[in-house]
Structure 1
Amino acid sequence: MNSSVIISHAAASDRADFYKKTYTHVAMAILAFIVVESFLIQVVPEEFILGMLGGRFLWLGILGLFWLGSYVSEKWTLSQSKTVQYAGLGFYVLLEAVIFLPLIYMAATYAGIDVIKQAGMITLALFVGLTAVVFMTNKDFSFLRTAIVVGGFISLGLIVAGAIFGFNLGLWFSVGMVILAGASILYQTSKLKDAYSTDQYVGAALLLFSSVMLLFWYVLRILMSRRS
């Protein structure tokens, strides 16, 4: 943390400016993701994408790199340098685009572009709704932290086990992950005022963007399962 004012202690005008910048950057990150993902779909060879789908241990390696990259990018977004902050956010957007590549390919190929659009609209509606709940009720959702941490470790263990042993986690796992992502959005949104200072809106945007993308991933998987 730097020496600037924590949001909960800032003036009302500064808080409003922080939230405006944060959600603007979330929107910019989503748009950047769409652009990068569209580019990757066009230029990455189909054989490479299919290799990501078929190689369990390759997929585990990619996930490992993603977690490492997520940690690095989060640290960058909390830097006092705006250049480093934006580099962190941009790096994370690129990581998400790579991770989403096989899922988007499968959705476009076997379920159709409309499913991707529907998943995006549902994700956006859920994000806006959950965000509105936090700001309209002014409720502290910090009590969700333990459930989110435990749920995160359990889900990660199941994902790794599924990748190693080759079993499908199924529809109900996706439903559970949507609930977990929704809880994360509630918790993260309510804690912004206590965890970030007025000039750390890029880091706050990355935090929310990561939960939005997690939500989108499993909403899309649910819609795809209904088409199969």
Structure 2
Amino acid sequence: MIENELPDQLPEKVMVSSLTEIERAAFYRKTYAHVAGGVLVFILFEYLLLQSDTVVEFMLSMTEGYKWLLMLGGFMLATNYAESMALRTTDKNKQYLAYGIYIFFEALIFVPLIYIAAFYMDSGLEILNQAAIVTLALFTGLSAVVLVTKKDFSYLRTGLMVGFFIAIGLIVAGTLFGFNLGLWFSVGMCLLAGGAILYQTSNLVNKYGVEDYIPAALGLFASLMLLFWYILRIFMSRD
């Protein structure tokens, strides 16, 4: 989900917006360190999942027709639950557990895409490396835009919600009626993911408390993975 409001029932928190520049910088370092840690754990999970023929065969079988919709539905439920868990508690152990659950399901949903890229395409490893580099460069650049300019991108919320609902509708229609959404859909989703990164980065100041670096990292990680998914699809479509 793109909206990470803090629940009203949690104790009043010291918001990042009230901190000094030095204290904000410390919060940013913790948050982005956890995003980086999430990427490393994602790579580990992905490696382990790809070692299992059973997991790979099952995930490949779930890409066919309505099964993919069931898989996407299950993924959305699991990741939404993890996001909610991270936001509704101040217990760091539970927040780390939620983050770990989210990363695991991201790794699981990526299994078919990465397996096809790595083992079925002539330049698979090169494609994966290129997509990863481009994704990280865009993520870093978009985050820097917000942190350097200190601009509030919270106004993107409505547009992002509408865009994601349209995207879900197109994915469902494409799966049910058997048409390929094509390159331009992936480009559009990259734009949405970029908007989500701007929005989530803006939230670091406007929506989170000083101890919320784990939920903040989870939100940024989710947007990063969405961007990587569609950049990888674009690179795969060229091969």
Q: TM-score range by the shorter chain?
A: over 0.9
Equivalent residue pairs, number: 226
Give the Å deviation of 1:4.
2.4
Shift of 1:157: 0.7
Match of 1:166 among 155, 175, 178: 178
Provide TM-score, normalisation by structure 1: 0.95
- Aligned residue among 79, 100, 103 for 1:70: 79
Q: Partner residue of 2:93? A: 83
Query: 2:90, 2:80 → 1: CA distance?
Result: 17
State whether structure 2 residue 221 is matched by structure 1 residue 209: yes
Judge conservation of contact 1:2–1:80 (CA < 8 Å) in 2.
no
Question: Residues 40-59 of structure 1, C-alpha deviation per residue, up to 9 Å, x if partnerless?
Answer: 111133432331222x2221
Query: What secondary structure is seen at the aligned counterpart in 1 of 2:155?
Result: helix
Q: Give the whole-Å Cα distance in 2 for the aligned partners of 1:209 and 1:145.
A: 17
Q: How many Å separate the matches in 2 of 1:154 and 1:213? A: 19
- Aligned residue runs from structure 1 range 172-211, under 5 A: 172-211=184-223
> 1:114, CA displacement in angstroms?
1.1
| Residue in 2 that maps onto 1:48 | 58
In the aligned structure 2, how far is the partner of 1:204 from the partner of 1:44? 34
Matched, 1:101 2:111: yes
| Corresponding residue of 1:38 | 47
Instruction: State the alpha-carbon separation in 2 of the partners of residues 195 and 124 from structure 1.
Output: 24
Out of 19, 32, 35, the residue aligned to residue 23 of structure 1 is 32
Percent same amino acid among aligned pairs? 53
Distance 2:140 2:207 in 1: 21
Q: Find the aligned partners of 2:13 and 2:189 in 1 and give their Cα distance.
A: 35
C-alpha distance in 1, partners of 2:96/2:49?
A: 21
Whole-angstrom distance in 1 between the partners of 2:84 and 2:60: 32
Q: Which stretch shows the higher mean deviation, 41-50 or 212-221?
A: 41-50
- SS of corresponding position for 1:167: coil
Contact 1:184–1:211 under 8 Å retained in 2: yes
Higher helix share: 1
Where 2:14 maps in the other structure, the secondary structure is coil
User: What secondary structure does 1:53 align onto?
Assistant: coil
- Segments of structure 1 that go 5 or more residues without pairing to the other structure are none
Q: Does 1:144 align with 2:156?
A: yes
Q: CA deviation at 1:75?
A: 1.5
Which 4+ stretches in 1 moved above 6 angstroms?
Answer: none
Task: Check whether the contact 1:25–1:202 (CA below 8 A) recurs between aligned residues.
Answer: yes
Deviations 1:49-91 (A, max 9, x none): 331222x222111111111111110112121111110000000
Gaps of 5+ in 2: 1-9
Question: 3-state SS of the aligned residue for 1:128?
Answer: helix
TM-score, length of structure 2 as denominator length = 0.91
Cα RMSD of the aligned pairs, angstroms, is 1.2
